[in-house]
Amino acid sequence: MIFVDTGAWIALSDRNDQHHDDAVATYTRLKRRKERLLTTDYVIDETLTRLRYDLGHYSAVKFLDLIERTEETGVLTIIRIDEVLFQKAKTLFRRYDSAILSFTDCTSFAVCQMYKVSEAFAFDQHFLMMGIILL
């Protein structure tokens, strides 16, 4: 299973993003290999908000449609951050005082730990400090 982070979703959605071409190539490769994808409701929230503010409502809705289609086909699993994951994320957030991590980053790391995910479709170098390989 491959974790998909906000940066990857944004790069796929925004043709002007510096990582757009790499994101499209990676996403195409993952689809061709029939990889299972995993993300969280926090990542979707963060992505929708950024797309809405940066590219407009239409782009955000288009992303939401993509997420729904991908989940319906069984390719994407969306993990909802529950109390257990929230507590694990708080622990990580407190532990890494020298790294500039968002709370959403910490929820993503908690999910990767819980589900034993070792690879991420992401451009955020913080995944590396958690021992997660970037695709």
Distances, alpha carbon 22 to alpha carbons 13, 19, 80, 131, in Å: 12, 5, 28, 22
> pTM (2 decimals)?
0.92
Query: Where does the pLDDT of residue 124 fall: very low under 50, low under 70, confident under 90, or very high at 90 and above?
Result: confident
Distance CA 108, CA 116 (A): 12
Set out the domains of the chain in order of their start, with CATH numbers.
2-134 (3.40.50.1010)
45-101: pLDDT as tens digits: 999 999 999 999 999 999 999 999 999 999 999 999 999 999 999 999 999 887 788
Q: What per-residue confidence (pLDDT) applies to 80? A: 98
